[in-house]
Amino acid sequence: MSDAKAVSRDTRVVVLSQFVTAFSWTYVYVFLPFYIQELSPFDREATLLWTGWILGVTGLASTIFAPIWGGMAARVSPKRLYEIGMLLQAGFMALMGVTASLPVLLLLRFLIGCIGGLSTIALIIVSASSARENITANVGLFQAALTSGQIAGPIAGAFSAELIGYRATFLAGGVVMPIAFVIVHLRLSPLPTFRPELSQRRPSRGGLVAGWLLCFAASIQIVFLPSVLPEILSGLRIAQTQAIRVAGFIVFAYGITSVLGSYFLSRLAIRQGRRRTLLWAACVASAFQLLLGATGSVVTFGLIRALQVGLIAGVIPIVFAEVAGSAHGAAIGFINTSRFAANAAGPLIATALFAHGSPFGLYLGLSAFTLLVLLLFLGVPAASAARSSSSKIA
């Protein structure tokens, strides 16, 4: 097989494996707040805080460990790291179905976060396998595949939880992960360590930090909602017996628009420019975020949420592409921690404000923060000059 065909196949394998991984992750995520409510011996406020920590601790751990995974790719084959992470995640996820203790559930979510470098390793492989002119489109495809898994997972998990119960659904979610392992083990080419050369344009420190903040802000707009969906649906007068199913449909709907936004905006950015695309997409998405506070029906809420997520999701692959095409593994790991940090901060911020503050204050704060870091990103140099050619696995 020619090198070009092998590179194309490797990109497809990583994209497919990320779909399966994301499906497994969100298969259990959408009903996790309801499961916590069922297990909790505490009052409403304390249960909301436990929910925020259990959902958020995974992102917190991943924020710490993702750069470590990225750095390990310089010493261990990325393929081997990818395979080990999949098997560990499958085991921890299955164990979540056999505990009735909130502290143990918190610990397992933390351990899953410690191996949250899977997407960092996948990004390294995609980056190394892509020509410079294709990096934006390939990262957009990667993001679209990841989000496609996040679409299919919630609706399947919601129905599974109703049909076979929470615990059996956890076990089923763990079983899905070995499928991704088999795909990678059999189809991904053997990969040596990742030691990229210095590129002609490397990310500046200011550009890297500003890019991290913008991805963080965009990711929070996407991930905060599931932790407070039980409260939102209650406020929209949805019966508790229907709440899990309705939650699955809402996450499913904005997952579809997230895929479309990631895929098409990353390609639009190639033609009209990355920064121009970022400017209008982030501004319009933040305006829709504010409109969520003015909705009075679940249908209107779902439609506005779908439009908002479709636009803000397109911001992430565009920013990633600016970094991934000209950076070493640790830098790619660093920018990827923005999503993990958002996974941690989003549920914590949302549940805290819903317990003690105003939902509209949450929507306003998220929009204002996004626009602030957008201005910062647009105001700093994206890259600095360096010496050599594009990154690759060597």
pTM: 0.69
CA dist., res. 120 & res. 134, Å (int): 19
SS3 assignment, position 385? strand
More confident residue, 202 or 210: 210
Q: Residue 376 — pLDDT band, cuts 50, 70, 90?
A: very high
Residue closest to 229 by CA, chosen among 58, 351, 312, 342: 351
pLDDT > 90? residue 308: yes
**Of 368 and 382, the one with more pLDDT:** 368
pLDDT at 327: 52
**Residue bearing the bigger pLDDT, 336 or 292:** 292
| CA nearest neighbour of 343 among 65, 117, 63, 59 | 59
Say yes or no to pLDDT of 109 above 70. yes
- Pick 3-385's CATH classification: 1.20.1250.20, 3.40.50.2300, 3.40.50.200, 3.50.50.60: 1.20.1250.20
User: Which of 214-218, 258-262, 273-277 tops mean pLDDT?
Assistant: 214-218
Q: Residue 394: is its pLDDT beyond 70?
A: no
Is the pLDDT score of 36 beyond 50? yes
Pair of tokens at residue 393: 């696995």
Query: Positive or negative CA dihedral for 124, 129, 133, 139?
Result: negative
- DSSP-assigned states of every residue in 183-218: HHHHHSPP-----PPPPSEEEPHHHHHHHHHHHHHH
Overall average pLDDT of the 223-250 stretch = 82
For the ranges 32-36, 103-107, 119-123, 222-226, the maximum mean pLDDT occurs at 103-107
Two tokens, residue 65: 């460990």
200 against 111, higher pLDDT: 111
Residue 231 has pLDDT above 90, yes or no: no
**Cα end-to-end span (Å), the chain:** 19
User: Given a cut of 90, is residue 367 above it in pLDDT?
Assistant: yes
Beta pairing class for 201-203 and 383-385 = antiparallel
> In the predicted model, what is the mean pLDDT of residues 355-367?
83
Please determine, for residue 130, whether its predicted confidence score (pLDDT) is greater than 90.
no
Provide, rounded to the nearest whole percent, the portion of the chain with pLDDT above 70: 87
CA distances from 209 to 69, 171, 334 (A): 19, 39, 9
Is residue 388's pLDDT more than 60? no
Of 61-70, 124-133, 214-223, least confident by mean pLDDT is 124-133
As beta bridge partners, residue 134 has none
What was the pLDDT predicted at 71? 76
- Give the chain's mean pLDDT: 81
CA distances from 119 to 57, 65, 70, 86 (A): 17, 12, 10, 11
The residue ranking higher by pLDDT, 344 or 370, is 370
What is the structure's pLDDT at 297? Answer: 87
